[in-house]
Every structure is written in structure tokens, then in C-alpha cells.
Chains A and B, each alone.
Chain A
Amino acid sequence: MERTLTRFVRALRTAGMSVSSAEAIDASRALALVGYSDRDVLKASLGIVMAKSEEDDALFEQVFDTFFDSAALASQTQATESSNDQPASADEGADSDAAQPDQDGTGQADDFMQLARSGDENRIAVAMARAASAVGADEIRFASQSAFFVRKMLEALGVEGLEARLAATLDERTADARRRAQALIEARTAMQRAARAHVEQRFQVFGKAATETFMDEVVTQREIGELSQRDMERMKVLIARMAKRLAVRHSRPRRIRNRGQIDVRRTLRANAGLDGVPFDLVWKTKKRDRPKIVAICDVSGSVAQYVRFLLLFLHALNETVTDLEAFAFSARLSDVGPTLAKLDFESAMNRIVIDAGGGSTDYGQALVDLNTDHWQVIDRRTTVIVLGDGRSNQSDPRLDLFAEMADRARRVVWLCPEPSRRWGTGDSCILQYEPFCSHLSHCATAADLERAVDDVLSAYA
């Protein structure tokens, strides 16, 4: 029983849940209390002991259902328990009297045939489970490995003996031999199917989640501009998760007690009942600023994709960043707040890119527009995030306005999708803006984006 639990814990870990050993011990204590008899109680108990958040609950449910797949449960426990005392090998035909060590594998072939023909699903399942443990099928991580494990399992069950016999039979070239060969082939196919089903089930438990995690990692490291449509869907989920992580990290209380500095007025008030003897000290508190972010996004063709993700990110942070103003520009600058509030995110972004994009990019003009219409949104609590490649088509970059903006704002963070070696080449005037930025960095992947936003929020700590 313990062994099944250990495997289950491992399955949970590969699925991305962090189950500590302390929790695994609790699980085994809980198991000793409730037993395996009632599936629902077992599920509830293990869930209560090991899944420690709502996401964990969903994950747990999924893994539990695939792992303790009704029929598999009995056979697996049986197989793993019995393999404790008998090393896993093709000892399934204990009732058959054929000698085991057989040079040409006739005995193995007989066992194999007998097993295949028995039609006893339980027996086959037990044999499969044992073979799977013997070849280490729990190590499966990718779907493409399944053919390999199926073959290994069949070999463990003695398929090689059968194949040798099959070859010999085919060589005979008689009608009778062909009939016998047909039976051998059918037996092999049936066993192959059973093995594949078994490997598939193991993959669902041990491999799938690992593949997903791996894919997630790949996507966050890939350049946003090069994402495929399928990656984009995956990305949305990931961005939501990142945003949640950041929100947790930055949702500290807004007041911090400044231990060491006494708030005299409030201390006297609090101790009035104690004859003014200051027993309860009240410390002065410091208020922390709420983050206020103004995002200025270049939505011309090359950068539009990045803007989509930055805004998605900032949007997902709306509990932490309540003050968010977003502007988009290519030729002229416009406030995208109303569009984002009115439409759902996807259609809003499409509208923004159509409305604001399309002109020839002009950073100078964008700054002028910001200056005339929206200068008041930038104050000393504001972090200005500029997302753009700084390619302004040879127009006047209006450094004076940019400098004034940097003066007004708390920080100016420039995120550039282009790698640093291309800064300043051609019509890029990013290097002219650089001296006024508190921070300028290359931001190409979702991981970069997360780091950049984390950095912005940390400045308010």
C-alpha cells in the first residue's frame, strides 16, 4: 500500500504540486485511518492532507482520477505489492510447468501465448503493471516515448521468444503453419494493444503534466514576436498566473510601522486610562504609495504584439495596480483606457491596433500629444513605462519633452523589444532617450516582461 502512495506522491510532484515529505507522511497516516475501501473518502482525505490551495485542488483531482483509474487501482496495488518479494520478471505463468531458462525462448513464448489467450483482463493488467514497473515506465515524459516503452514491456513479457517462433513457423510454408502463425500474430497484437493502453495511462499520470510544464517554460522564454497562435493561447494562461504571482508578492499592507519612532500624540491618547503612564507604545507609521502606472505603447506593426502582452499583464494586475493609464500611438497618441473598459480584452486590442496603429511612427508627435492632452496624469507617484523600439522615422524626438516627463515622474522605464546591439542603428533614437530613463532594458520574452513589471512594482516597496 505504501508503495502505491509513494508513486502517487511522485505523480503529484511531476504534475507540478509541491508535496513535502511532511505532507506525504501525513498522507500515509490519513491512509492508515481511512483505508482504500471507499474511493470518495480516500480522495477527500488525500486531497485535504496534500492539496493546499485551490489550484492544487484542481490538479489533485485530475491526477487522482487518472492514477486511481478504477480498474488499474486493484491490479497496480496487487502488482506492486507482490513484486516486493518476487523480482519483477516474466514469472506470470506460475501455473505453467514450462522451464524458465530456455535458450530459444519457447517457454517464454508459451507463457506469452497463454497470457494473451487467457482473455483474463485482470491477469493481463497485473502482468502489464509488473512489466511496466520492470522497464521503468513511470519515467515516461513525452508522448513520443510510448512506442519505446511498449516494446520494452513486450520484451519483458517474452515477446522475443514468440517472434522467434513466429519466424520459424513462417519458414515452414505450409497451410497449417500459416494458420498457427496467424494465431501468434493475433496474440502479439492483442498484447501490444494492452501494453499501449497501459503506457498511455502512465503517460497521463506521469508524463503529461511534465510535458505541459516543459512547454510552458519554453513559451515564456520564446520571443513574443515569434509566438504561434497556439503559443498565444498558452501564453494568456501563463500571463494570468504570472500576474497573480506578482500581485501576491506586492500586495503588502500600505502602512508600515516604523518601530523606534514613537507617535507621542497617539501614545498619550492610548494610555490615558493608565494614568498617562506609557505602557502601550504607538509607533509612527509610514504610508506607502500605491503604484501608479502610465503605459505609453508604440503599436506600429513591429511592436504591436509586445504591447498586447504588456497590457494583458498590467490588466491582470488590476488589483495591485488600480491606477493604470494606457496610451497607444504610432503617428498620433490616444488614450486606450475607454476602449479597454468597454470591450473585452481581445476585441479591444484589435480595435486599438487598427485605430492607433497604421500611421508612420513618430515619437516626437506622441510626446507632444501627451503633453497637450494628458500631462496631468504624470505626477511624482507615476512610473512611466514606454514600450517601443524607438524608431521614429527621422522625426524630431522632442527630447525636451521627454526630459520634462522624466522630471515629473517617479521613474521612466523603457522596454525595448529590439536587442541592444541594434539600438541606435538606422532611425533608432533610443540611445538619445536613454539618459533620461531610470531603466532601459531589452524585453523580448514573457519572462523579461515579468521581471520588468516586478521591478516597477518593487520601486514602491
Chain B
Amino acid sequence: MTILAPIILYFLFAYGFPLDAKNIPMGVVDFDKSSLSRSLIDNFQSATNLFNVKQVVGNYPALDKSMDLGKTHIILVIPPHFSKNIKKGEPVTLQALIDGIYPNRANLISSYAESIIGSFRDEILEEFFLKHYGFSDQTDYAIALKVSAWYNSSFRSEDFIIPGIVVIVMMFFPPLVGAISLAKEKETGSILNMYCSSITKSEYLLGKMLPYIFISFINFFIFLLITIFLFKVPMRGDPFTLMIVSIFYVASTIAIGLLIAVLVNTQIAAILITSIITLVPAFLYSGFMVPLTNVGEGARFMSYILPCTYEISLIRKIMVKGASFAHVKNDVIVIVVFCVGIYFLCIKLFKKRLG
């Protein structure tokens, strides 16, 4: 179960993170009902997987409450005389009502909608110029963009998301397992055996960590294989550097749990504290979903003290970019220092006596 549980979560994330389909539920209020307005709606419907036009209605009340209930995230309002005005050569204004509950989603929806409306606008202008002036001004833009995305030319999200998932899932269980293993002995009193014995603190803590490091590393290795062979994420860099550094990474995740168990005396407190500082922060602050540049001052502190931040940066650089050691050495140093540092902090704070 200890090995199986992370694998279940890995697959949940790997399949659950959306790749290309967005399927944004959309409603349209079409006051115009002309062939032109219908072709605009068609442009939205046919934009691959972006919008899912659920309802096209002729008046507001029919869509009333649909956004309140979360059934549509954008409502496009096509004004009356839309096509008449365009044919007359007059400017028209569409209205886009967007659900702002999730601001980042709202921004995306708005920019998708704008790009579809933008190309619709260009078409109309081009036609207009051709008809009235005999030339199409639109084609002569001043700047043409030439885009090249390195390492991942088609923006495959798998290459971005899945290496991150490997790291995140390793942040879920090992700290908790580490925390319980020590807190349990402290709470049940079996730690007294250790107090009485001749074993040193460092030996004891290392002994607690080693089996879990081994199990976690096996987990990590399985994830790596699935990532490469099932999800076809390239391994462009040196897999041995990645694996050796990852031993330090899994060790540091376990050490976080041990450190918390050193500080508190009950298992329940250890469990709750560990899960609060690892589960959600690993998602939000590690650079996994949110780029680090978007994490504000207050939360940046969390980003810096989570080892997964550095491991995510490392695994992406090695797997996808094929970065050489010189370019990942900062991440490597931080991970190793973290691991050794937390371990020594545990030894320092761990008292081999009662009270």
C-alpha cells in the first residue's frame, strides 16, 4: 500500500490535468439572428476544443441565472442590427460577460474570445477594403512574428506537467510517514528503549530514514519509468545525475516529517502540521502550477523552504531541456544542503532524554 498509494495519485494527476481541451461552457444571446451572427457563433463552436456553445437564445431572460449556477462561464451578446451595421460600414460592439470567480480562468477565457473575435474582425475588414477600395490593407502588417519554442515546439503540456507530478506526489506521503514513525515512538513511550540504549541520535535518525528513503526511491524510479515510457516525456539529460540528486530529495522530504516529530509530542499534532505545510503548499508554491514569478512576497518564503521547488526545477531542466550539470548545479547544491541541513537540525533539536 505504501508503494501503491502514490502511484494511484500519480495517475489521477497525470490523466486529470487538462492537456488541450478547455471546453469552456458558453452561452450566446443573439439579438441579430442573421447569417453573419451565426457565422460568428460558428467560429466559437469550431475553435478546437476551446468553447462549448451550450445555448443560443434570443433574449436575456433565457440565460438568466445560468452564470449564477455555473452553467456558463461566458455569455456573448450580439446586439440587434449587428449585420446591418456591418454592411453599412459602421462599427459595432459585442458584449462579453465573463464569470470572474476564478480570475486566471477569466483572463484565459477573455483572451481566447478576443482572438476569435479578432480574426472575425480582420476578415470583415479585409472584405470591406477589397470591396470599397480595391485593396486589402490587412495583409501588410508591419511586424510578422516568428516563434520558436525550444525543447517543446508544440507546447505539449505533458512535458511540463508530468515531471512536476513525479515530484509533487513524492511530497505527499514521505513527510507524513517520517513524522508518524518518530512521533509514534515518542507517544507510546517505546522511544525509552532508545534512550536507554547506546545508540547515538544520528544513528537512530538515520536508521529511521533509510528504509523510507529506499521505498520512496523505488517509487520515484517507477514514476520515472512511467513518465518516460507511457507519457513519452523525453529524457534529454543525464538520468544518473537526476537519480542521485533525487535520493537526497526523497531523504529531505522524510527529514521534514522527522523534524516536525522532533518538535511536537503527539502523533495527531505531527500529522496535522506536516500535512498542512506539505500538501497544499506543494501544489501552490512550488512552481508546479503557478510560475514562481507569480508567487508574492508573503508566500515566497514557502516556495524557498520547500525542497520540491528545487527538485521540480531540476527535473524539468534535466528531462526536457537536457541541461548540463553546470546549468543545474544551483538546484543540486540547494537540495543536498537541504537534506543534510534538516538532518543535522533534527539531531540538534532531538533530546535523548525525558522531559
A binds B: no
